[in-house]
Structure 1
C-alpha cells in the first residue's frame, strides 16, 4: 500500500509527511502549493494537505494524522479508551489555542485579500499564543505532552512551533524550546523536513 501526499513541505502537509516517516510507511509526495491546478484535481477547494490512498481522498491534516495513527497503531492510544480521550483533548486544545492563532495571524498577513486584512490583530494573537504555550508546557506530563512517547498532538504542536518561529511569534520559553529540540532531533522529523 502506498499513500500519496499532496502539499508543500512548508505547510500542514509537513505533519503528514512526518507521521508517515515515523510510522515507516511508503508514500509519494507531490509538493504542490494551495490553489494550484495539481491540488484542485484532488481538492476542489484548493486546500492542502491531501492524502490519497487508492480511490479514497482525505483532506485535513488532523483527520489524516488520526486516520494513519489508528490504522497503523502508532503515535496514538486506542480509540475508545480514556487515554485516547485525553489525547484527543490535547489535539483539540492545540488546534484551538495554538494553531488558530497562527492561522488568524497568517490570514491577516498574506492569505486574505489586502483590503480585508487587519494587521492590528497579529500582536494580540502573538500574546495569547505565548500565554497558551506557557500553560501547555506547565501541564505536559513528561518529555512529550502525555509522557515518554510522542503522539499525534505532539506532531501538531511541533509543527506549530516551527510555524510560530517563521511568523516571528514569541519563542515560548525554555521548556518549549527544549520540547521542540526533542521533536526536531527525531530522525523522522529530519527526513520529512528535507523533503
Structure 2
C-alpha cells in the first residue's frame, strides 16, 4: 500500500486526488513540511513524499507521473507523441502557473521577512493572467486539456487554479472557471478534499 506524506493543504493534494481517481489504496500521513515524518521521508523536509514499499519518491508531479505510468491511468504511454505533448503541457503548467504562484508564496510567508519583496506579487498576477489566456484558448471545445480524457496535467492545473483563488490571484475566465467546476465536482476530488 502506498503512503502519502503531507497535509492535503499542500501539493500533496494532487497525489491524494490522483490516487482517489485511480481507486488505489493508500495511507495518508497528514503532516506539515519539515515535520519529523516529512524529514524522515525527504531530507529537505518538503512535502509531499510517497512511500512505495522501501522506495520514497518526492515532488508531486514526479509522483503523479510515476503512479500514472505504473497503473496505466491518467496518462498517455511513454514513448508516444501524445505523451510528449502531455509532458510539454505538464511543464508549461509548472513553468507558467505553479512557479508563479510559488514565487508569490515565497515572498508572502516562506522567505525570511528581510528577503521578501512584496512588490513582486503584482507583476506575478499580471503574468499569471496572461499565461492563463493561452491555457484557456487551448481548452476551447474540449472537456479536458488534451481532449476527452482526464490526465495528470488536468489535476495539476485544477489544483493550481484553486491555489490561485486562495492566494488572491485574478479569477479565471469563463472557460477555465467551468473547467475547474467540472473537475472539482468529481467524486474522487470530494473524497480527497474530505481528508484531514
CA shift for structure 1 position 63: 0.5
Instruction: Give 1:92's aligned residue.
Output: 91
Q: Distance in 2 between matches of 1:165 and 1:140?
A: 19
Mapping of 1:69-88 within 5 angstroms? 69-88=68-87
Superposed CA RMSD: 0.7
Instruction: Give 2:160's aligned residue.
Output: 160
Secondary structure in 1 matching 2:41: coil
Whether contact under 8 Å (2:4, 2:50) holds in the other structure is yes
Instruction: Give 1:189's aligned residue.
Output: 189
Mapping of 1:8-157 within 5 angstroms? 8-140=7-139, 142-157=142-157
Structure 2 unaligned residues grouped into runs of 5+: none
Tell me the TM-score normalized by structure 1.
0.98
Q: Distance in 1 between matches of 2:179 and 2:173?
A: 10
Return 30-39 or 101-110, whichever deviates more: 30-39
Q: Distance in 2 between matches of 1:86 and 1:140?
A: 14
Q: Distance in 2 between matches of 1:194 and 1:129?
A: 28
Secondary structure in 1 matching 2:75: coil
CA shift for structure 1 position 127: 0.9
Deviations 1:40-95 (A, max 9, x none): 11111000000001100000001000000000010000000000000001000000
What is the number of equivalent residue pairs in this alignment?
Answer: 194
Deviations 1:111-140 (A, max 9, x none): 000000000000111111111111111012
Divergent runs of 4+, >4 A: none
